[in-house]
């Protein structure tokens, strides 16, 4: 049995690598033990689950790109 929340999980689009995503899915989402997923646990408690929360309880670091506000900053 897989996690019933798997199809709509907002974490999935944040992965740029399909291989990394598949690793998380195999270990947390596609197993009978999906209840150990921190995202699932939070949702079941009624918490607002941040999209960056990983199944192991850590957060996915988001990389942001700083765009130069002034053309002279681009040097």
Task: Say how far apart CA 35 and CA 45 lie, in whole Å.
Answer: 12
Enter the pTM of the model: 0.76
Q: What is the pLDDT of residues 2-45, one digit of tens each?
A: 999 999 999 898 888 899 899 999 999 999 999 999 999 999 99
Please report the pLDDT score of residue 73 as a whole number.
Answer: 47
Q: What phi and psi, each to the nearest 5 degrees, are found at residue 33?
A: -100, 30
Please say if the pLDDT value at position 74 is more than 60: no
Which residue, among 54, 48, 52, has the nearest Cα to 36 in the 3D structure? 54
pLDDT in tens, 33-53: 999 999 999 999 999 999 889
**46 vs 71, higher pLDDT:** 46
């Amino acid at each position: 049995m897989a996690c019933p929340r798997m199809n709509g999980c907002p974490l999935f689009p944040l992965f740029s690598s399909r291989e990394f995503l598949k690793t998380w899915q195999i270990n947390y989402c596609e197993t009978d033990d999906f209840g150990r997923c921190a995202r699932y646990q939070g949702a079941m408690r009624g918490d607002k689950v941040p999209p960056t929360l990983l199944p192991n309880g850590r957060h996915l670091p988001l990389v942001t790109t700083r765009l130069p506000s002034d053309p002279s900053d681009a040097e």
